Structure 1
Amino acid sequence: MARVRFLGPEPVTVPELDSRVVQPDEVVEVPDERFEAYVCQVTNWEPIEEPGAKGSRKSAARPQKED
């Protein structure tokens, strides 16, 4: 899931997020495939974490051995 910050001055209800009320300056997770639909509204949303960012990070943990 990608993350965006709401830049508006007043809370807004976002139907796509199960009618969640998003507060000004709140960061929310949005589906990766819908990320561009949010960030293209530059006066309302700011990108925080782009789609796939979490999955592209490598873990420092050693892989588990399978028996």
Structure 2
Amino acid sequence: MARVRYIGPEPVIVPELGQGRVVGLDEVVTVPDSRFDAYVCQPQKWEPVEEPKDEQPPAAAPVKETAAKPLKEG
């Protein structure tokens, strides 16, 4: 989860953080990583504190190929 700080002029209600959740001036809140950009694209109201972690799925194990012997024709 990412974190942002509210720097707007007055407290606001942020429904996605919980029903009736009021965020006050200079308050740091945790937001879903997928919504981080929606907050920080409003630099007059929000500033980043902790950016989303780049969580990438573990790399798949390489497929092992066996060396096949050519078929003998005959």
- Shorter-chain TM range is 0.7 to 0.9
Look at both structures and tell me which one has the larger radius of gyration over its CA atoms: 2
Indicate the RMSD between aligned Cα atoms, in angstroms: 1.4
Equivalent residue pairs, number: 54
**TM-score of the superposition, structure 2-length normalised?**
0.68
Q: Which has the higher strand share?
A: 1
Instruction: Please give the alpha-carbon distance, in whole angstroms, between the structure 2 residues aligned to 1:17 and 1:35.
Output: 12
Aligned to 2:2: 2
- Runs of 4+ aligned residues of structure 1 deviating over 6 Å after TM superposition are none
Gaps of 5+ in 1: 56-67
Aligned to 2:40: 39
Q: Which has the higher helix share?
A: 1
SS in 1 for 2:37: helix
Deviation per residue, 1:5-46 (Å, 9 max, x gap)? 001121100011113100000000000000000000010100
**TM-score of the superposition, structure 1-length normalised?**
0.75
Gaps of 5+ in 2: 56-74
